[in-house]
Amino acid sequence: MESLKIGKQKITLCRYNTVIVGSGAAGLNAAVHLYEFFTQKGIADAQSRIAIVTAGVTLGASRMSGSDKQTYYKMGTSVENSDSALEFAKTLTAGGCCHGDLALAEAIGSLREFYHLVQIGVPFPHDSTGSFLGYKTDNDPSERATSAGPLTSKMMCECLQRRVVNYGIRIYDQQEVAHLITKNHHIVGVVTIDKKKLNAKNFGINVFQCENLILAAGGPGELYKTSVYPKGQAGIHGLAFKAGLAAENLTETQFGLASTKFRWNMSGSYMQVIPRIFSTDAEGGDEREFLTVFFLTMSKMATNIFLKGYQWPFDPQRIENQQSSLIDILVFNETQKNRRVFLDFRKNPVGNSSMTPFAIEDLEPEALNYLKKTGAIQKTPIERLACMNQPAIDIYKKHGIDLYKEPLEIAVCAQHNNGGFAVNHWWESSVERTFVVGEMAGTHGVKRPGGAALNSGQVGSLRAAEFIANAYDAEIPSKNSAAKEIKIQVSELVAKFTAGSLTTKDIIDEIQSRMTASAGHIREINDARNELAQAIALVSRIKQNGILIKSTKDISAAIRAEHLALASVAYLKAIVTLLEQGSGSRGSHLVLSPDGLLIGGTELRIKPENQGLRNSILRVEYDPKQTDLFRCENITPRPFPAERKAFEPGWKDFRNGKIFS
């Protein structure tokens, strides 16, 4: 650790071989594996070459997100049903726009990383013979899903962090990433604002110089007003774009029903126990059973509430003929009328005068057989939930919500971005020696099975660590290797921290309102074009007028506002480009069109999916010379690797390190 002076600011400079940005499950796993690979190669002080930089060890989606039983998706371990890596990979690519080599790598690595988590203490359940238990999740043709409970990813983080601490790897907490230092199209350092050092005169600037960088900062949850991401989950997408990273599939955000008072997914058993769904006016009066207008029978309505459990993401292909995603549309319509929507676990669904009363025996076979199989045939939803999954009740109780005493307010929320930054099959980005893992990596296609993101983060971070340790070296950068770039770029950053006129609140409010209304689960081309122009204008206003910083404590919020504004342009640019290509309704969003298909019972006319675009991935790169600030191109998804070597030549290539070339 060294000190230097840039202007009036005292800068702390740290030098490491590899800096990992983010302390979620993917980032921590990268640190654990990199230490182990370095140690296996005979590097005695491996821990001193690795650093984790994070805005908050206890923050982020890995620590703070979950569902009824948060899913981890892996290759099947059932003693009765066979599975293979290729079949697993075919499931990951089935929705289109997914690279075959990434899918196959995730499939092959899934059991390796699952058992790694088991070994370090994540309590995935197994039976008396040691067989790990599984179940079926959304977009899953098999029972590949498993869970350690509502807080699976939090448990993963806790176990991985213990290993990081045991290895002696340094975690720098409370670091707001402010800039990525570039030199000759490489990223050679990370600039942070140390929130512990901020005072009236000191900006608390730290510079982490590095040879290799792993970005694991999560998704851009703060882009959306209606969101189930943890509050404050902003990501660093704008900074990564400016540093030269290309992105893919930004159009494919996943949306679904979630509670709003305590941000939590309403998937799995929350819906399978079939709670009453109703709406009220803004003050909580005028209760309405709004679903009954659109579902013809109680059996159909109740069964589709059940199906939202493992058909949780909004899916435009599950709207027609009274399917489960019609519920998402109807919930959204109510909220657009300034009404509030609730789940009530104390009561069964209530019908209208033409419907028979709710009865378990009247459910369609898929729902009825499942509830009988799990023994959840009690009189009320809360009793069924207690039978099926008591921890799902406990998690709300822990956050001050008693499902036995009060209904739960819900909305259709942004939940996960299937897209992100482009990576190869070692999770290296378009910028050499910069790797992207976890949700920040664009490894998923249009659709993905529930829980596949956790597997992707673990496998991707393993592969990034393996490549760094074997293809690159473990050297620490020299003091003078980027001295000029550090001085110039930190000086430019400090110059921004002056009194501007735009407030961070106004900027964030504008971004979130725009993205929820125009880049959410319902999209329309002319609206998207107009909002793209407004997003570009906001970036221009920020550049011209600056952001109001009354004290050094405002600097972190100003940084987030600026790079979120640029990220919003990237997402809207991608959405407009895809709509102009005639993509239609796909993934977790529907596209409105005057000449579209009329959805029965609603006033919606939607454009069907253009399935020809499933074999085309939209790639996005920052280009300040462009009017829209970004340029887009279509690329063909990479296929499944066809190479199949006999053992001896494959063993020789492995011994000689050719697999990393």
Distance of CA 653 to the CA centre of its chain: 36
pLDDT at 643: 83
Return the bridge partners of 9, or none: 6
- Separation of alpha carbons 13 and 208, rounded Å: 6
| 3-state DSSP helix/strand/coil % of the chain, to nearest 5 | 40, 20, 40
Q: What 8-state DSSP symbol labels residue 615?
A: G
Low-confidence ranges of the chain (pLDDT < 50): none
CATH top-level class for 495-614? mainly alpha
Q: pTM higher than 0.75, yes or no?
A: yes
Cα distances (Å, whole numbers) of residue 583 to 319, 332, 527, 607: 18, 23, 16, 8
Question: Residue 278 corresponds to which tokens in the numbers above?
Answer: 């109703």
pLDDT of the residue at 553: 87
Parse the chain into domains and list their residue ranges: 257-413, 495-614
Give residues with Cβ within 8 angstroms of 604, minimum separation 6: 329, 590, 592, 596, 598
Q: Are 480 and 235 in contact (CB under 8 A)?
A: no
Token pair for 112? 């390796």
Measured in degrees and rounded to the nearest 5, phi and psi for residue 377 equal -120, 30
pLDDT tens-digit series, residues 452-486: 999 999 999 999 999 999 999 899 999 889 999 99
Residue 58 tokens read as 């206890």
> Are the CB atoms for 148 and 123 separated by under 8 Å?
yes
Please enumerate in sequence order all residues whose Cβ is within 8 A of that of 42, keeping only pairs 6 or more positions apart, or say none. Answer: none
With H, G, I as helix, E, B as strand and everything else as coil, classify residue 88: helix
Contact 190, 180 (CB under 8 A): yes
What is the Cα–Cα distance from 409 to 403, expressed in whole angstroms? 11
**Alpha helices (H) along 497-552:** 504-518, 525-545
Q: Side chain identity at 223, as an amino acid letter? A: L
Cα 384–387–389 angle (5° rounding)? 100
What is the predicted pLDDT for the residue at 201? 81
